[in-house]
Amino acid sequence: MPLLKKISPDQDDGPSPIPTLPRKDSIGAESLAELRYTIHQRLISELDHTKIEGGDTPANRAAVEEAINMLMSVESTPLNWQQKQKLVQEVIDEVLGLGPLEPLLKDPTVSEIMVNASNEIYIEREGKIYLTDRGFRDDTHIMAIIDKIISPLGRRIDEASPMVDARLPAGYRVNAIIPPLAIRGPSITIRKFFEDRFNMDDLIRIGTFTAEVADFLKACIEMRLNIIISGGTGTGKTTLLNALSEYIPDGERIVTVEDPAELRLRLRHVVSLETRPPGLEGKGQVTQRDLVRNALRMRPDRIMVGEVRSGEAFDMLQAMNTGHEGSICTVHANTPRDALSRIENMVLMAGLELPIRAVREQLASAVHLIIHVSRLRDGTRRVTQVTEVAGMEGDTVTIQDIFVFMQQGVDENGRIIGVMRPTGIRPRFAERFGQSGVFLKPDIFIRRND
């Protein structure tokens, strides 16, 4: 059975509504793009899609390539070998993948893909942003790719609902926004997550923090301290949380709450919960606050919130204060102090009309440690502060740095040289280490000038 429903080398069922392929003695870049578009349109019209179910598999790629070659043989368009290979690959990417984005999705060095406009696609690689030479045909082409992403999920995007968050089958997070909100045209942002996850040894090796900081964090997790990981966008908060999870003892039940799901914890006993947006009729939404409340009924030993954004901050603090010690969450913030201020504001967003002092007392008693991560000018991601939440003085939550990143210079390649150093302050909870059977080097908190 031929893959093409209408066209075979020996038969043509009459004129197609799709324009015929251009016939030229030679073909340039513009003509090649036009030819790619024409073949793609004819495939959409004439391909028997029931025979390529299952997505981008080797068998489906071979079947689509055969169909492309059949169409090209019928039209007899002159192409050299390189042009033909390029055209076949790009059409396959259009039919089975996400078009111009497909090679970027498969590139293991690319961590983020940003489509600003049809002819403007940026990527992030090793913490730095680069403009690519790839592009879409026009805004309609971008919209077709967005629809390809969200349609299987039962989602929609239009003028009435011009923003959407989704997740690709590989787990990558996708955000799309279209006019009139996106003035220059539809925009797509894809955050990739890698199966080859960093563990704590990897993070020590690449300089995210030192071995002694890792030992300290291990002790804090084993002692069931409540931890906030703070930092800006793309600083590595989720990566750090995933890595820290390897220190959680086996046998503990972990419930994660996310929007969308990104965590890949190094644990077996994990229940992962994910929010749900409203359906097409505007009903059925499940928020992070709903999930945190439900998680409390699931007998968790620890609760992890991938990113605290709103009123669920109050429920998270309640959980930390009522028997779920050792819980961890992340928050977008520029400093540890800013992280506390943001959580304070989120608690107020819960609409409970609590006095500000009561909110701060909740914070001071619930949170023990803040780990702040930053992306430096050279693109590297480092833990720059490990900060204790020490308590209350008057109406103010007091904090004190235990370890800080000290920059020592810049090498000939522009890479920042520096290392985490203890500040000389011994955390107030340090006496609990020995009581819990957790022991650290005696000099771990001693300030050094080397």
Which residues of 109-246 form beta strands (DSSP E)? 110-117, 120-125, 128-131, 163-167, 173-177, 187-191, 227-231
Type of residue numbered 105:
L
Question: Which residues pair with residue 374 across a beta bridge?
Answer: 382
All domains of the chain, ordered by start, with CATH?
7-97 (no CATH), 102-191 (3.30.450.370), 200-435 (3.40.50.300)
| pLDDT beneath 50, residues of the chain | 1, 7-26
The pLDDT value recorded for residue 55 is 67
The pLDDT value recorded for residue 447 is 87
The pLDDT value recorded for residue 265 is 86
The pLDDT value recorded for residue 1 is 43
pLDDT tens per residue, range 235-273: 999 999 999 999 998 889 999 999 878 888 878 899 999
What is the model's pTM?
Answer: 0.78
**54 in the Ramachandran plot: left (φ > 0), alpha (ψ -120 to 50) or beta?**
left
Q: Compute the distance between CA of residue 353 and CA of residue 311 in angstroms, rounded to an integer.
A: 12
Which residues of 320-368 form beta strands (DSSP E)? 328-332
312-321 and 336-349 helices, crossing angle to 10°: 110
